[in-house]
Amino acid sequence: FLSCIVVIKSRSALSWYQTYSTALQFAKLTSAYLFFRMNIYLGLVYCFVCIVRLYFLPDDEIKLPDEITYINDLSECKNDYWMLELYTTFSPACQRVAPVFADLSRQYGCDKLKFGKVDVGRNQAIAQKFRLKLGAMSQQIPTMALMKDGECVEIRPEVLSNGKLRRFHFSEENIIKEFHLNQVYQKANG
């Protein structure tokens, strides 16, 4: 039962760390339930130990510096290549994609290939330029766009000619493949 819950909850995880954290979280909940069923005092002691451990030994991820510029105006993207993430602060999908985008900025960021983030919730004009539909149920958020000299070269997820949205899974491998980041990096450095 625990394995089924972990698989269901972590199916949209983008890294092994997210899957591992979900598994441990549900294992702790299951252990607490079993301790309470065996003896209420053991359950209380276990919960107390978990709270003390969480307070004194938090699970901090190592925060490495990234190469991301926060953009409020697209005129900043007129020169060179720019990889943009169009996001909103209220979207859980954007929060899941953020570490992947930061990793890519560390791997591929250079003088002529820059990474930027645009909060389209605050910049409606940019959202309109990319024809994004904003809202809590929008399937277009997050969106990634590759810009070259101020023009959009690639965008994901993309709206097809019939008006339907072609979905996109924002994994590191998919982003590298769809945006041809290896080739763009070579062009930017060459």
Is the pTM higher than 0.75?
A: no
Question: Phi, psi (5° rounding) for residue 187?
Answer: -65, -40
Where residue 149 falls (left for φ over 0; alpha for ψ -120 to 50; beta otherwise) is left
Cis peptide upstream of residue 142 (ω within 30 degrees of 0): yes
- Count how many Cα atoms sit within 13 Å of the Cα of residue 114 in the half-sphere of its side chain: 17
Q: Which is more confident, 69 or 44?
A: 44
The string of pLDDT tens digits covering residues 123-172 is: 888 888 888 887 767 778 889 999 998 899 999 998 888 878 888 888 88
Using CA atoms, how far apart are residues 73 and 118, in angstroms rounded to an integer?
9
What are the tokens at 33? 């339930």
Contact indicator for 159, 153 with CB cutoff of 8 Å: no
pLDDT band at residue 24 using 50, 70 and 90 as cut-offs:
confident
Q: Looking up tokens 């926060």, which residue turns up?
A: 70
The string of pLDDT tens digits covering residues 106-116 is: 899 888 999 99
Q: Looking up tokens 């069923």, which residue turns up?
A: 37
CA 25 to chain centre: 20
